[in-house]
Amino acid sequence: MWEMTLASLNEILGYWWLIPLGVGLGIFVGAVPGFSSTNVLIILLPFTLGMESGAGMAFMASLYSGSHMGGSIPAVLFNVPGTGAAAATCFDGYPMTQQGRGQEALAIAFAASAIGGLFTTMITLGALPYLSKMVYYFGSIENFVIILFGVALIAQITGGSMLKGLIAGMFGLLLGAVGYDHVYSVPRATFGLVYLFDGMPRVPAIVGLFAISEAFSMVEKNMIIDASKLSDALKEGWQGTKRGLVITLKKMGAVIRSSLIGFVVGIIPGAGATIGSFVSYQQAMSFSKDKEQFGKGAPEGVIASEAANNGLTSGSLIPLLTLGIPGGGTAAVMLVVLQAHGVPIGPRLFQVMPQLAYGVVVAMLVAYIVMIIMGVPLAKSLAKMSFFPTKVLAPAIISFTLIGSFVARGYLFDMWIALFFGVLGYILKRTGYSPHAVLLGVILGPLAEQYFLRALLLGNGNPAILFSRPLGNFLWVLLVLSMVLPALLARFRNRKTVQ
Amino acid sequence: MANKTKQWSAGDLFIPGLGMALAVYYLYTVRGLAPLAQLYGGGLSLICIALFLAAVIMVIRHRKNDSAGGFKKLNSLAAVHKKFIVMTVLTALFIVIIPIIGYPLASVLFVASTTIFLKYGNPLRVMKVSVIVTLVGFVLFIIFLNVDLPLDAVTEKLKGVL
C-alpha cells in the first residue's frame, strides 16, 4: 500500500497545480448559496474530460473537498449555508459572529474542516479495500435508524419549550412529506402544483428559513454584530484566528469523533453530507457538559458540523472507487469522467489501475493540507465582511440567495418557495419556535419516509422488520443510549455536586 | 434556537395552526390511498393536529397578560413588523418582475427600492450600491456560473459577447 501511495504522490506532483486550483474553486463555489461541487463539476465536464483520468480525478477530488469548507463561510458570517451540509454550522457559527467572534468561528470551521478531512482521508488510504465491505451491511433499516439520529435533534434544539420544539419539528416533517409518495407515486398535499410533485425542494427551504428570514430580521439593527461587541471586533487583529486554532486543537477529541461520524455516514451511498453534519451535531450536543451553550455560539457546535461534513468527503468516495456505486451527485460526475476514459469501475479498478484509485485519495490528502494553508489565513479578511451595514447586506443577501434557490431546478417558482420559507422563518423566530427544527424535518423527513417504507415493504408491512437485523439493532441501541445516557449522566453529575 | 418561553399568547398558535391546516389538507389528499401510502404522512398529520390542540390548551392555561413575545394584537401587527412586511412585499415584487424585465434590471430596482426604504443614504449612494450588487450577481451567476436566469435584450447580447 505504501509503495502505491508514494507512487501516486509522485504522479500527483506532475500536476500539483491542479490541487490548489481545485481547492480554491471549491471554497469559492461552496460559499455561493445554492451551488454545490456537483453543479460546477458538471459545468467543468469538458475541462475534466480533456485531462488525463488521474489529473481529472485529482482536480475533482480537490474541488469537492474545498466546497465543504467554503460552505461554512456564509453560514458563519450571514446565517446563509452555502451548502446543505453547512446548515448545522449556522446554529452556532452565526451567533458567534453576532457576538463579534466571526473570525474565531471561521478559524474553527476551517481548522476543523481540514483536520477532520485529513484524518478520515488517512483512514481511507490505509483501509480502502476493507472499507468497501461496510457498504453491504447498510440497508434500508440501518439507513432509517441513522436518519433518526438526526431527527432526534428536533427534541434537543427545542430551546425553552419542548412542546414548541415538537410542533416545529413535526410541522417540518409534514412539509417534507409533501409530494409523490415513495411507494405508489401518488401526489400528496401538492396544492395541484406540479413543482411540488418531486417533494418540497430543499435548497429554497434552506435559503428561506436561514438566509431570507435572517435578512428580514437583520434590517431591524444597523450591523450583524451586537453594538456592545462591535468596537472590540473592529480592533481585533489575528487574535480571533489564534483563539479559533487553539480551541480546535484543544478539542481534538471532538474533531476526531465528528469526522468519524461523517466518515461512516459518507460510506453509505445516498446518505449525504447534510445527514452527516446533523447526526454529528446531535451527538456533540447530547454528550456535551455545556448543552445550554449549543445554538448560542458554542465552538463545539461548529466543530461538530464542519469536521463531520469534511470527514464525509473521503468516505463518500469509497463506494465509487471500490464498488462503482456513486454515493452522491459529485461521485456520479466522477463516475462519468472515469467511464469516458474507459477506466474499469468497481473491484477491477484495484486490479487494473490501483494507482488511479489511490491517487484520488492521495490528492484529497494533499488538498486538505492545502486547505489549512489557504483557508486559515483567510479568516481575518473574511470576518470583515460581517462589518457591512445591514441596509446593504439584507438586499444583497435576498437578491443572491433567490438566485441560489432558482439554480437547483431552474424553476422561478422555487423563488416563491424561498420567500414562503423566509416569511415562515421570521414568524417562527418571532413566536419562539425553532426554524432549525422545521428545517431538520424538511430535509430529513423525505429520507426517513423513503427508508421506513422500503423497510416495511421488505417485511410485507410488518414493523417487526425494523428490529430484525443485527447492525440495525445495534444502531437502535446506540440511538436510545444517545438519547437517555446524557440525561442519566447529567443526573449523576448533579447528584455528585450536591453531595 | 427558540426563545425561552414559559407563557403562551394567541400569536403562538399561528405555527401550530398552520401545521394543523396542512395536516387536515394532507389527510384529505391521501384519503382512499393504500394504507402504506397513508401511514407516514397520515401519522404525522394526526400528531400535528394533536400538537395544535395541546398548544390551544397551553394558551388557555398559561396566557400572557402583556402578550409580549408572540404577535401582539392584530391591529398593531403592521406597526411592529413594518420593515418585515415592506421587505416581504418588495421581495415578492422582485420575483414577479424578474421574468418580465429580466434579472439585472429587476435587481437594480429591488436593491434601490430596499435601500431607499431602509434609508441607506443619498440617491447617488443608493444607485452605486444597486449597480454594484447587480454587477456582482450578474458576473458571478450569469457569466461565471452560467445560470439560466431571464435576461433583458441588452444583457442577453452582453452575455453572448462575454
For residue B3, what pLDDT is reported? 43
What residues of chain A, 204 to 223, have a C-beta less than 8 Å from chain B?
212, 215-217, 219-220
ipTM comes to: 0.88
For residue A96, what pLDDT is reported? 93
Quickly state the pLDDT bin for A113 (edges 50, 70, 90).
very high
For residue A38, what pLDDT is reported? 77
Quickly state the pLDDT bin for A115 (edges 50, 70, 90).
very high
Query: For residue B80, what is the nearest residue in chain A, using CA coordinates?
Result: A220
For residue A409, what pLDDT is reported? 84
Instruction: Confirm or reject contact between A44 and chain B (CB < 8 A).
Output: no
CA distance A312 to chain B (A): 26
Percent of chain A whose predicted confidence (pLDDT) is above 90: 26
Q: Which residue of B11, B19, B146 is in closest CB contact with A174?
A: B19
Between A174 and A383, residue with greater pLDDT: A174
Q: Which residue of B3, B52, B141 is in closest CB contact with A403?
A: B141
Whether residues B88 and A43 touch (CB distance < 8 A) is answered with no
Q: A132 in helix, strand or coil?
A: coil
Contact in structure between A63 and A31 (CB atoms under 8 Å): no
Q: Which residue of B26, B44, B84 is in closest CB contact with A426?
A: B84
Query: For residue A423, what is the nearest residue in chain B, using CA coordinates?
Result: B88
What is the residue extent of each domain of chain B?
10-72, 81-161
Most confident of A61-70, A411-420, B59-68: A411-420
Rounded-to-integer distance, Cα A131 and Cα A320, Å? 12
Mean pLDDT of A210-226: 85
Rounded-to-integer distance, Cα A388 and Cα A366, Å? 35
User: Which chain A residues are Cβ-neighbours of B141 within 8 angstroms?
Assistant: 32, 400, 403, 407
Q: Which residue of A165, A173, A396 is in closest CB contact with B133?
A: A396
Mean pLDDT of A408-417: 90
Instruction: Confirm or reject contact between A59 and chain B (CB < 8 A).
Output: no
Q: Which residues, at least 6 apart from B69, have a Cβ–Cβ distance to it below 8 Å?
A: A431, A432, B3, B5, B7, B9, B11, B12
Q: Please, what is the average pLDDT of chain B?
A: 84
Half-sphere exposure of A168 (CA within 13 A, CB side): 33
DSSP assignment of A28-61: HHHTSTT--HHHHHHHTHHHHHTS-HHHHHHHHH
Contact in structure between B22 and A191 (CB atoms under 8 Å): no
CA distance B146 to chain A (A): 8
Q: Which residues, at least 6 apart from A137, have a Cβ–Cβ distance to it below 8 Å?
A: A471
Query: Is the predicted pLDDT of residue B74 greater than 60, yes or no?
Result: no
For residue A137, what pLDDT is reported? 77
Neighbours of A324 (CB within 10 A): 16
Say what angle helices A102-131 and A53-70 make with each other, to 10 degrees. Answer: 140
Interface mutation target, options A43, A388, A402, chain B, most CBs of B under 10 Å: A402
For residue B1, what pLDDT is reported? 41
Q: Which residue of A160, A391, A453 is in closest CB contact with B120?
A: A391
DSSP annotation of A100:
T
CA distance A220 to chain B (A): 7
Lowest mean pLDDT of A243-257, A281-295, A307-321, A323-337, name the range: A323-337
The three cell numbers of residue A391 are 441596509
Q: Which residue has the cell 430529513?
A: A444
Q: Each residue of A386-400: pLDDT tens digit?
A: 788 888 989 999 998
For residue A243, what pLDDT is reported? 93
CA distance A400 to chain B (A): 6
Percent of chain A whose predicted confidence (pLDDT) is above 70: 95
Whether residues A391 and B37 touch (CB distance < 8 A) is answered with no
Torsions phi, psi for B105 (to 5 deg): -65, -40
Most confident of A223-232, A326-335, A469-478: A469-478
Query: Is the predicted pLDDT of residue B96 greater than 60, yes or no?
Result: yes
Task: Please report which helix (H) or strand (E) contains residue A219, including its range.
Answer: none
For residue A17, what pLDDT is reported? 85
For residue B77, what pLDDT is reported? 62
Query: For residue A37, what is the nearest residue in chain B, using CA coordinates?
Result: B145
Rounded-to-integer distance, Cα A20 and Cα A214, Å? 33
Q: Each residue of A288-317: pLDDT tens digit?
A: 878 788 888 999 999 999 999 899 888 888
Whether residues A449 and B34 touch (CB distance < 8 A) is answered with no
Q: Which residue of A32, A159, A175 is in closest CB contact with B4?
A: A159
Q: Each residue of A152-168: pLDDT tens digit?
A: 877 766 656 788 888 99
Contact in structure between B149 and A404 (CB atoms under 8 Å): no
- pTM surpassing 0.90? no
Q: Each residue of A429-473: pLDDT tens digit?
A: 888 888 888 988 888 888 888 889 888 888 888 889 999 999 889
For residue B145, what pLDDT is reported? 77
Say what angle helices A413-430 and A390-407 make with each other, to 10 degrees. Answer: 130
Half-sphere exposure of A382 (CA within 13 A, CB side): 29
What residues of chain A, 408 to 437, have a C-beta less than 8 Å from chain B?
410, 412, 415-416, 419, 422-424, 426-428, 430-434, 436-437
